[in-house]
Structure formats: structure tokens, C-alpha cells
Homo-oligomer: A and B are copies of this chain.
Amino acid sequence: MLKLKHIPVKSFGENIAYIHRDCSFYKVDDVNKVTKLEIHKGGRTIYAFLQIIAEEGVLALDEIGLNDDAFKSLDMSEGTEVHVGLAAPSLSTSALRKKISGEILTSGEYAAIINDIAAGRYSKMDIAAFLVACSSSMSSTELVSFTEALVAKKILHWDEKNMVVDHHCLGGVPGNKTDLIVLAITAAYGLPIAKSCIHSLTSCSGVADTMGVMAEVNLNAAKFQKLVRANNGAIVNYEAMEETKVNHLLHDVRSQLGINQNELVMASILAMMISTGVSHLVLDIPVGPHARIHSTNEAIRIRKQVEYIGDMLGLSIDVVTTDGSEPIGNGIGAVLEARDVMKILRNKEDAPADLREKSLFLAGRVLEFDAQLRGGQGYAVAKEILESGRAFEAFQKIVNAQGAKEVPSVGAYVREVVAPYDGVVKTINNDIISKIGIYSGATQCLGSGVDLQKKSGDRVHAGEVLYTIYSCNSADFDVVSQLVEHDSGYQIEAD
């Protein structure tokens, strides 16, 4: 039994337990590698990784220190006497090793692994091993098992006989924030749209980031459902709901390592849809040489897998493939993307045409889930809703209901990237633009990002601005400035 003490250290998702070097509990000399402790009292158990403190005055010999994460998840007051022991071998360890060896796991084994992750038994290293192993091979049946394990239990139930719709993109195209426009049009039309989204994973800005600059997206499940019912639409940061802790942990590791295999992306999107009770989904697969999916053949393979999972788990999915050859919209980064979205909803003349067109197309497909609507009429209806200002009104209602925020300004560190000679923009490389956006600081600071002034086919003169980079601090600005010297991402055909 050791006495609990809170050591206020933020370590970003890992539970750490500290004991003093001379603590009676454990002979420190024996500790030569990462050791997992089980800390429990009265039926409540957490797991934490042991670190040894030799600093005087921080911990007494009969105390166990817990960092922020661990202290919060044990949820007991300082001084409480808790039982501390070595964590017993985890049930899923052998399943994890099997997967690392390339074997096929059963649905029970996926469930065991996901359960252990939920219980905090996995370090980030363990989770990385699991995700990389899954990335290298997962059968369609395994994909169903994995998705099902991620869902675990549904967070939201909709008693309505009506459908609940959503739209999601497989990603890989910078700036592509059709989501908010589709949300607005669908809500204005009157189909309930329960939009889940997440923070950026490997891109500059996730939908949760972009919407997050305009309104509160960290809602709990009950509030989210209430708002969808009230306004025919709401948008939630999926991982803000406490039921989604596992997704959060997986997401963290994937984001840090850039693990983005299609199987994992599919499983996580579909699990998100199913657990929030969505019945009908439009899934957008952008195809392009520098999009996530490089060829139509690959898109078809993904479509089949997605449809299979949907059929097995009871989700109706309409898969559409779109042009993902270059960034969509002008802004890349939360604040800049929010600006684009608002220009479109307000029917401004300088609104980016590509983002507007794509949004109308996708919204049309969503609306066509409505049996009342004649096939092929979705686009026209969506366009009418947007042009009439009803989409804007619906969006304002959603924003206000969720708590409108003042949009921050763009970063103060500005760099313009110009055309080196006269010519025509031939291609814009998604990967490089995305990388420039990330190193501008867009994943950490909402106001950082890239604002494209030229698109493919545009004529440019030597010295004319191709795009502007915004950073919020000098550290990021220095890094991105170096990076952009190397390759601007634009290929310009000289006259």
C-alpha cells in the first residue's frame, strides 16, 4: 500500500507512476526496463508506467506519484492508500505478437486488444506496434472485426424512424472542407445530419479544427444529439465524447507516426459513423497522383471493402470518387479554411469555385438518400438551397446553438512564395503543399497555414504570388521557410 500523490506532469496520453529511488515497494536496482504497474483500490484499477525519482522533497518513501493523466483517470484524492503491484500479463499480449508475426486474428482477439487499450494497458509503443502490424496486413474479415471492436457499443441511438445521415471524406487532399457546406445544405433541406469529425491526423487541419475556430465542437453525446434534433444538424469532435477514448489513443499514435493505411482510415471512419448511429453515409474517395488513393482501381478496391463492412455492420454507404489531383479551395489551415467556407455560404464572388462545386455535388448525393427526392435532382436542390441563403441561415443556427466563437486572425509571420518565371501552373503537389502547411504550424496553431492564390491552369508572371504562408511563431516560420526554399510544390510550364 502506498499513498497517492499528484505529480502535475503533462505527458500527453501516457500514465506515469513515480516512486522514490529508496521506496520500499520495489528494489530499483532490479528495474532495468519499462515496467507496468497496476494501481488499484476498491474495484477501480489503472495501469501506469514506472519511473524512478531521485529528487529529494518530491515524493516520500511511502508515496506513489501519478502524473496528470494517471491521477485523473484513477480519480481519487491525494493521500489515499492504494494497492500497487506489477501488472499481470495482459490477455491480449499473445494476440498482439501474433499480429506482429503477420497472422490473422479472430474477432475475439481484436476485441481483447481494443479492450486492453481502453483499460490503459498499452503504452504508445505497444499501440504503434499494433497499428503498424495491422497496416501491413488485414483481411476483409479482420477489418470488420477491427471496426466492430472499435465501435464496442453505440454511443448514440436514434429512435426516429427516419434516417440519420453523414458525409465523410477519406482524406489526402489539402483544403478540402466540403464537410461544413454539406452539413449546412443538408440541415437546411431537413435531413438530420449527425456530423462527427476529428482533429487533423496527418493533414494540416481536420474538420474539427476548422469548425472549431467558429464554434464549440467539444460536445458530449447527449448535447450533440439534442442539437441534431433541434436544428437538423450539428457537428461534434468525435474524440471529445468520453466514450471514444480508444479512438483518441489510436489517433494520437497514428498522427505522430503518420500511419495512414487505408484499412485503418476506413475502420476508424466507419466505427465513428456506426457508434454515432448514422444510418446513411456518403463516403468521398478523392483520387489523384498525390491524394491518398492514386488510381481508380485502388478506389474500387476500397469501395468494395467499405461496402462489405457497411453490409456486415448495418450501415448504408454511397461511395463516390472525386478528383483529388490538387488542393481544393484556397485556404489550408483552420482559420483560412473557415474563411473559404464562409465565403461560399455567403455566396461571395471570390469564393473558391472548386470547393463550392464539389460541395454541391456531395450534398446532392446526401440529399438523394431522401426517398422523396427524384434521382439525379440532388445537385440542383443543393444549389438552390445554397444560392437562396438557406444554407447560410442553417449554418448560422448550428454555429449559434453550439456556441459561436470569434475567429482568430491568421499568423503574424508571413511569407509570399512567388513564380520564378512567366508561365502556366501545370500541377500543384498535394504532398508538398500539405507538408508546407504542417511545418507552417497549422497542426498546432489555428491561424497558421497556406493560402493559395493560383491554381492549375492559371497564368502567372515572374514574381507574382503563388501562395502565402502564415505562421504564428518564429520557430515554425524558420522551419517552413527553409523547407519552401527546397520545393514550392508548384510546377510551372514556362512560356
Q: In the docked arrangement, what's the CA distance between A10 and B261, Å?
A: 35
Nearest opposing residue in chain B for A85, CB measure: B475
| A136: interface (CB < 8 Å) | yes
Find out whether the CB atom of A52 lies under 8 angstroms from the CB atom of B439: no
A51 / chain B contacts, CB cutoff of 8 Å: 9-12
Copies of this protein in the assembly total: 2
A403 interface residue per 8 A CB criterion: no
Q: Residue of B at shortest CB range from A473?
A: B27
Given contacts A33-B252, A479-B88, whether A10 and B52 have CB atoms under 8 Å apart is yes
Contact of A256 among B53, B55, B125, B261 (CB under 8 A): B125
Contact A12 B30 (CB under 8 A): no
Within 242-268 of A, Cβ neighbours of B (below 8 Å) are at: 252-253, 255-259, 261
- Binary per-residue interface labels of chain A (27-64) against chain B in the complex, 1 for a CB within 8 Å, 0 otherwise: 11011111100000000000000011111011000000
Interface positions, chain A 221-258, Cβ under 8 Å from B, are 252-253, 255-258
Whether B93 contacts A258 by the Cβ 8 Å rule is yes
Instruction: For the complex, give the distance between the alpha carbons of A12 and B36 in Å.
Output: 12
**CB-CB under 8 A for A136 and B102, given A11-B51, A253-B125:** yes
Contact of A12 among B33, B100, B483 (CB under 8 A): B33
Contact residue range for chain A? Answer: 35 or more
Contact partners of A261 in chain B: CB under 8 A: 100-101
Interface string of A115-143 (1 = CB under 8 A from B): 00000000111111101110111000000
Check if A376 is an interface residue, CB within 8 A of chain B.
no
Scoring A11, A89, A257 by chain B CB atoms within 10 A of each residue's CB, the highest score goes to A257
Q: Which residues of A approach B to under 8 Å, CB–CB?
A: 7-13, 18, 27-28, 30-35, 51-55, 57-58, 85-86, 88-89, 93, 96-97, 100-102, 123-129, 131-133, 135-137, 252-253, 255-259, 261, 439, 444-445, 473, 475-476, 479, 482-483
Lowest 10 A-B CB distances belong to which pairs? A136-B136, A8-B54, A10-B52, A132-B132, A124-B125, A125-B128, A128-B128, A128-B129, A129-B132, A11-B51
